[in-house]
Each structure stands twice: as structure tokens, then as C-alpha cells.
Amino acid sequence: MNSTAINLIPRVYWTLTAFLFAAVGAMVIFWTPREATMGDVQKIFYVHLPLAIHTFLACFVVFVASVMYVLQRRLWWDDLAGAAAKVAVLFASLVLLTGMVWGRSAWGHWWTWSPRLTFSLILWLLYVVYLMIRPSIESPQKRAMISAVYGVIAFLDVPLVYLSTKLLPDIHPESISLAPPMKMTLLAWFVPMTLLAAGLLIARFRLNRRRSVLERGAEEDLEDDRTEDAAYAGPHLTPAGEIA
Amino acid sequence: MNRAIRHIALLTAKDLRIEARGRQTIGLVTVLAILIVVVLALGLAPAPGASGLTATAILWVAYLFGGVLIFEKTMAVERYDEALAGLLLAPIDRGAIFAAKLIANLVLMFTLALVVTPVAVVLFQFDLSASPGGFVVVMMLSMIGYAAIGTLFAALTSSTRLAGGLLAMLVFPVTLTIILASTRVLYNLFEHQQPVGGSGLAILIAFDVIFLVASWLVFELVLEA
């Protein structure tokens, strides 16, 4: 494939994603019925649940990439973990915000210390810290190692956080029965949301790759970045911004 | 097995001997923890007979900050004169090094708790009489998990420039689980007179087991980095 075709892929991808978001947005506004007790605010739910599930998936990617970094010591994995953590924090923030808007309407408070809210907040904190510590460590290997160990520990902590928040009194809905159009809309929302998450992850990952090549250009090869044999084999950026 | 235990005992004794001779860490940490309790006491202007739940919240703040300093200091000792290189060259299992550091940290944390808890009880007129035993068990279990995480991350961050602040950032969010679980257990104990046990205690034990094993496994890789 020539470079013009490759450059076209992201454009097509993001246009498609935007189009699908518009489509599922229209579904929510025009097609799904108004919920009897909650009214229009209930419609936040179609955004809220897919966001929450993709937050977990992103956290899982951080975990897998962290384990792989610890085992293989390739900065490739660290770049992936860093990208996934960014997506996780973005999505977790949106989960918190949509949840707060919903809660304000359902319970009359922006915030209550109910199990799921507390859980989401702690999850958000865990991964915000992950992002905050990274820039403060200068050596790429050290940064990768500290981030990787933290990524593993944070993910192992997630089920424990979930169980411990269960000790708090709960008012969050446990399971909801949905009318068929509601179910369809919810499922439809997963498609653009998955595209968004994957697209952001890939874009971030490519950016991280380029950055680490620039940072460590004199030490590392893109193809083989094993830290112990860091012979420079000449990665550089072409004028088009591609890594050669 | 016996060999490993002997190594752990030797290394722990070494760390504690350094501390006993210098007394650099424990003095500093205790004064800091008392300061924290006093600041909170002045800020909260507590009513007499504050409940066990308030007690745990206030003590946790003191233990958390004190703990971070302890973990950092016991690991910093190894950075002087390349002591860590010597330790790594010695024919000792890395797991034993972790166990020794963890035990030394725990001894210092328990010492800190022995001083700070009575101070807080006096200043706040805490009423722990409902179940002093339950309070001690829950706090000790929590500290074991906290020390496991702290020991691991201290080894990881000790060679970076901003070790102290970084360590606190790494350890605090992971520790929120223990704080949540232990405060809930103690809340049920002091407010509802429920005996210590059930899911809260199970979570504390699970946390201890998971992070003792995970830290022990990762510690070896961390020291090599």
C-alpha cells in the first residue's frame, strides 16, 4: 500500500466513527421510548454503560501490557500501556460525569458514597495516578518499570476495591429490565464506542512510539528495542511524519 | 527452608540494628505522626468520646504518612556506598531480601502505632473500650497489606530523584481499598457492636495474601531493573 492510502485510513475510520455516533445519537433521541419514572435523563444510560465497560477493557490492556513489559522489557509494551491508561482515564472520567448527571436527577445529589460511585472514583484515581507519575520519571526504562509494576498492582486491586465498596450501603440500580428498543439502542451504542476506544488507543500508541523513538533515537531501534542491546540502527522521522 | 529463614533473620536484624544505632527513622516518623494527629485535633476540635470510626480515620492519616517515610528510609539505607549491589551479589534469595525489608518495615510501623495510638486516644478521648482486641487485629492486618505494597514500591522508586513524593503517589491509591475495608469493619464493630469477621475481614486478608504474593514475585524483577 502506498503512503497516501495509509494516510487515508485514519480519516475514513474517524469519519465512520463520527457517522455511527450520529446514528446511535439519533436512535436515542427519536426512537427509544421515554422511561416512565426517570424521563429523558434515563437516556444517559446508553452512553454510561458502554463507557464503563470500555473503561474496564482499557484497564485490562494496561495490565496485559504491563505484565508483558515486566517479562520482556520491550518499551513497545510500555507505550501500549501508557496509551491504554490514557483511554481508561478519559473513559472513567466520562463514566463519572455521566453517572453524576444521572444521580443528580435520580437521587437529588451530584454525589453519594454508594458502592459503584466509590468504586468508579477509586478506579479513576488509580489510573490518574498512573498517568501523573509517568512524566515525572526521566529515564525511559525506569519509567517503564515503575509504570508496569504499578499497572499490575492497580489492576489486581480493582476486584478488591469492588468487593470493599460492597460494604457500603447501596442505592445504585442492580439490574434493569429494558424494553426491546432500549436493548437495541444500548447494543448499538457499543459499536461506535468500541471504534472510539480502539481508535484513540491506536492513535495514542503510535504517538507514544514516535515519541519514544525520538527520545531514545540514539539508543533504540523500532523493530528491536530490547534495552540491553541498544545498538542504534537508524530510526528517523521522514518529512511525511512516518517512521522509517 | 532453614537457610532462607536464617537469611531473613540476618537481614532483618541488620536493618533493625542500623535503626537502633542511628534512630533516624523512628524518631522522625513518630514526631511527624504526632504532629498530624495534633493538626487534626486542632482542626476538628473533637467532641469528647469520639467513636472508633473517627479514631481509625485520624490514625490512618498518621499511619499512611508515617509509613511512606519508613518505607523510603529503610530502602534508602541500601543506596549508600552501593550496599544494594553487595546485597544482590550475596548468595541470598531475592525473596528473602523482600521478606526481611517487609518485616523491618512492619516492626517500625508497629512501633509507630504503639506510640501514636495512645497519643490520639488521649487527645481525642477515643472510646475503644467496646473492642480493643478487634481494633488491634484489624489495624495489624491492614498494616501488613500496606507494608507489602510500600516495600515493593520503595524498592522501585528509591533510585529516582523524587523518591518520597512519588512513593506516596503510588502507594496511596492502591491502599484506599484497605482503608475502606478496615474503616467499614471498625464502623460495624463500634457503631453496631457487630463482631469482627465476615466479608470486611475477608477482604483485608485477601488483600494481604494477594499483595504479599504479588510483591514477593515482582520484587526480584524490580531489584534487577
Residue B65 pLDDT grade (very low, low, confident, very high; cuts 50, 70, 90) = very high
CB contact A92 to B (< 8 Å): no
Q: Does A137 contact B166 at a Cβ distance shorter than 8 Å?
A: yes
Q: Quick one: average pLDDT of B47-52?
A: 59
Q: Quick one: average pLDDT of B132-143?
A: 88
Cα–Cα separations (whole angstroms), residue B179 to A154, B183, B199: 15, 6, 14
Q: Does A163 contact B203 at a Cβ distance shorter than 8 Å?
A: yes
Distance from CA of B122 to the nearest CA of A (A): 30
Tens of pLDDT, residue by residue over B161-180, are 666 678 888 899 999 888 88
Question: How many helices, marked H, and strands, marked E, lie in chain A?
Answer: 6, 0
- Helix ranges restricted to H, B125-197: 132-157, 163-191
Enumerate the residues of chain A whose CB falls inside 8 A of the CB of residue B181.
160, 164, 167
Most confident of A88-92, B53-57, B175-179, B193-197: A88-92
Of the candidates B64, B2, B4, the one whose C-alpha atom is nearest the C-alpha of residue B32 is B64
CB contact A75 to B (< 8 Å): no
pLDDT surpassing 90 at residue B87: no
Of the candidates B1, B23, B4, the one whose C-alpha atom is nearest the C-alpha of residue B12 is B4
Q: Does A137 contact B222 at a Cβ distance shorter than 8 Å?
A: no
CB contact A26 to B (< 8 Å): no
Name every residue whose Cβ is closer than 8 Å to that of residue B219 and which is 6 or more positions away in sequence.
Answer: B94, B95, B97, B98, B151, B152, B155
CA separation for the pair A5, A162 (Å, rounded): 45
Identity at B143, one-letter amino acid code: M
Is A226 within 8 Å of A236 (Cβ atoms)?
Answer: no
Q: Quick one: average pLDDT of A10-19?
A: 88
CA separation for the pair A30, A28 (Å, rounded): 6
Distance from CA of B22 to the nearest CA of A (A): 30
CA separation for the pair A153, A155 (Å, rounded): 5
Q: Quick one: average pLDDT of A137-154?
A: 87
Tens of pLDDT, residue by residue over B9-20, are 988 998 899 888
Cα–Cα separations (whole angstroms), residue A127 to A7, A56, A93, A171: 32, 11, 10, 25
pLDDT surpassing 50 at residue B212: yes
Tens of pLDDT, residue by residue over A82-100, are 999 999 999 999 999 988 8
Among chain B residues, the shortest Cα distance to A149 is held by B218
Q: Does B180 contact A165 at a Cβ distance shorter than 8 Å?
A: yes
Q: What is the pLDDT of residue A236?
A: 44
CB contact A228 to B (< 8 Å): no
A204 vs B50, higher pLDDT: A204
pLDDT surpassing 90 at residue B108: yes
Of chain B, the percentage scoring pLDDT greater than 70 comes to 92
A136 vs A66, higher pLDDT: A66
CA separation for the pair A118, A112 (Å, rounded): 8
User: What is the residue-averaged pLDDT of chain B?
Assistant: 84
A183 vs B144, higher pLDDT: B144
Distance from CA of A83 to the nearest CA of B (A): 19
Q: What is the pLDDT of residue A36?
A: 66
Burial string for A71-94 (b: 16+ CB within 10 Å, else e) reads: eebbbbbbbbbbbbbbbbbbbbbb
CB contact A138 to B (< 8 Å): yes
Q: What is the pLDDT of residue A230?
A: 42
B206 vs A219, higher pLDDT: B206
Q: Does B162 contact A136 at a Cβ distance shorter than 8 Å?
A: yes
C-alpha cell of residue B73: 528510609
Name every residue whose Cβ is closer than 8 Å to that of residue A231 and which is 6 or more positions away in sequence.
Answer: A221
Which ipTM value was assigned to this complex? 0.82
User: What is the residue-averaged pLDDT of chain A?
Assistant: 80
Distance from CA of B2 to the nearest CA of A (A): 30
Q: Does B214 contact A166 at a Cβ distance shorter than 8 Å?
A: no
Q: What is the pLDDT of residue A217?
A: 62
Please name the member of B170, B210, B222 whose beta carbon is closest to the beta carbon of A145.
B222
Distance from CA of A160 to the nearest CA of B (A): 7
Q: Quick one: average pLDDT of B180-196?
A: 79
Choice among A50-54, A221-225, B179-183 with the minimum mean pLDDT: A221-225
Interface test with A, best of B176, B192, B221, B223 (most A CBs within 10 A): B176
DSSP secondary structure, A100-149, as one string: HHHHHHHHS-S----HHHHHHHHHHHHHHHHHHHGGG--SHHHHHHHHHH
Is A191 within 8 Å of A48 (Cβ atoms)?
Answer: no
Q: Quick one: average pLDDT of B134-145?
A: 89
Tens of pLDDT, residue by residue over A185-234, are 888 888 888 989 999 999 999 998 888 888 766 454 544 444 443 444 44
CB contact A113 to B (< 8 Å): no
- The residue length of chain A stands at 244
Among chain A residues, the shortest Cα distance to B159 is held by A142
Interface of A with B in 147-166 (CB under 8 A): 149-150, 152-154, 156-157, 160-161, 163-166
Q: What is the pLDDT of residue A218?
A: 45
Residue B46 pLDDT grade (very low, low, confident, very high; cuts 50, 70, 90) = low
Q: What is the pLDDT of residue A127?
A: 93
Chain pair A-B, CB pairs under 8 angstroms: 87
Domain ranges, ordered by start, for chain B: 2-224
pLDDT surpassing 90 at residue A10: no
Enumerate the residues of chain B whose CB falls inside 8 A of the CB of residue A146.
156-157, 160, 166, 170
CA dihedral (A31, A37, A40, A43) in degrees, to 10, reads -70
Q: What is the pLDDT of residue A244?
A: 44
Q: What is the pLDDT of residue A40?
A: 72
Q: Does A161 contact B176 at a Cβ distance shorter than 8 Å?
A: yes
Tens of pLDDT, residue by residue over A108-117, are 888 888 788 8
Enumerate the residues of chain A whose CB falls inside 8 A of the CB of residue B184.
164, 167-168
Enumerate the residues of chain B whose CB falls inside 8 A of the CB of residue A137.
160, 166
